[in-house]
Amino acid sequence: MDNQKYSPIEKINTEKLFDLLLKSAETNLVELSKVLKLDKKNIRLLISRLKDMGLDIYQKADNIKLITKIERVDTHLIKTEINKAKINKPVNYYFSITSTNKLAKEDHKIAIYISEHQSAGKGRQAKLWITPLAQSIAISITHDFKFGLNELSGLNIAIGVAIINTVKKYGYTHLGLKWPYDILGQDGKVAGILIEASGNKNTSRVIIGIGINWQVRQSLLDSIEQDCMNISIDNCSKTEFIASLIIAVEEILIEFAQNKLTNIASIWQQFDALSKRTINIITDNKIQQAKYIGINQHGLLRVEINQQIKTLASGEVSIRKID
């Protein structure tokens, strides 16, 4: 759903219909028309828009229901939990936007941004990040550091560890960290990180975007060019997980500001998905095979190529494990 294509009232009605579908195990066009005060034709258009946003809706004649039970984010609970943790950043919640990182960049504020749906979510190297309505976690967190851009190296490592710390809280330890920005499950990628930074040699501001496949339907996962899977945590709600994730990120940002990767690197190493693996290094469409060594104290990649140790930054290369 491209937000630019619809009027404010159309957006409001689309969101209202979504809420009605969440509340009812099954409903029909007649009931929806009464509540929304719209004719059946317009209800069908709203249903089509929700489907375009990735919602899996069963429709037979006038009967309608959601195929998969999903939940809407409870911002009140998130605000309550982060206030308990003494995090003073405002929480901005959206039903649908183009991208949480894009909005954070335009907003120029220190804040937290959460959206149920992104029409143009992006990952590393400008790749599209699919965020179907209410099936993924899409958040961005802005933060100011009292040091310059040259000292941000390794922040991606810290954020990866924050995600691991969150899932460990719920007893889930089957994930791995893939340098520089991916979190992997047994059958594919479950989450990605996008960090955008601005500043100078004295101060810096970062926008930390995190996308997590929470309960994306399989047909959408299958449409992605790489293997992907859901995080599959079933002992907490999506809202509880988001609140815990925000707190974990804020805690790791404080740790990173004070000690960089001194205390963080050991956790990364425990969950390093490429440890002792042979990998392909991809630079400018050139592929080289390398022995993966790990990361250095600045979070840079260390590999062995032709019996020489090389150190590489995330902006220079992509890596693929060799099965």
> DSSP letters along 129-178, please?
--B-TTTEEEEEEEEEESS-GGG-TTHHHHHHHHHHHHHHHTT----EEE
Interatomic CA distance for residues 80 and 63, integer angstroms: 38
Distances (CA, A) of 322 to 35, 219, 224, 276: 55, 26, 20, 11
Which is it for strands 188-199 and 182-185: parallel, antiparallel or unpaired?
antiparallel
Mean pLDDT of the chain: 93
Q: Any idea where the domains of the chain sit in the sequence?
A: 3-66, 75-270, 278-321
| The predicted structure's pLDDT at residue 272 | 97
Alpha-carbon torsion (176, 142, 171, 296), positive or negative:
positive
Calculate mean pLDDT across residues 50-56.
95
Contact 204, 253 (CB under 8 A): no
pLDDT in tens, 161-212: 999 999 999 999 899 999 999 999 999 999 999 999 999 999 999 999 999 9
Contact 158, 193 (CB under 8 A): no
| The predicted structure's pLDDT at residue 1 | 43
pLDDT in tens, 290-310: 999 999 999 999 999 999 999
> Does 33 score more than 90 pLDDT?
yes
Calculate mean pLDDT across residues 205-227.
94
Calculate mean pLDDT across residues 6-22.
93
pLDDT in tens, 259-302: 999 999 999 999 999 998 999 998 887 899 999 999 999 999 99
Find the length of the chain.
323
Residue 218 C-beta-side C-alpha neighbours within 13 Å: 2
**Left (φ > 0), alpha (ψ -120 to 50) or beta: where does 315 sit?**
alpha
Query: pLDDT grade, residue 2 (50/70/90)?
Result: very low
Give which of 127, 139, 125 is closest to 214, Cα–Cα: 139
Count of Cβ atoms closer than 10 Å to residue 188 Cβ: 15
> Does 121 score more than 90 pLDDT?
no
Query: pLDDT grade, residue 126 (50/70/90)?
Result: low
Q: What share of the chain in percent tops pLDDT 90?
A: 85
Residue 53, SS3 per DSSP: coil
| The predicted structure's pLDDT at residue 83 | 98
Interatomic CA distance for residues 302 and 131, integer angstroms: 32
Which stretches within the chain are classed as H helix? 8-23, 29-36, 40-52, 75-84, 100-107, 155-169, 218-222, 238-259, 265-270
> Does 232 score more than 50 pLDDT?
yes
Contact 66, 57 (CB under 8 A): yes
> What's the whole-model pTM score?
0.95
CATH, domain range 3-66: 1.10.10.10
DSSP string, 85-132: TT--PPEEEESSBS-HHHHHHHHTSS-EEEES-BSS-B-GGG-B--B-
Q: What share of the chain in percent tops pLDDT 70?
A: 96
Residue 120 is encoded by which pair of tokens? 């143009």
| The predicted structure's pLDDT at residue 127 | 66
CATH, domain range 75-270: 3.30.930.10
Domain 278-321 is of which CATH architecture?
Answer: Roll (2.30)
> Does 15 score more than 80 pLDDT?
yes
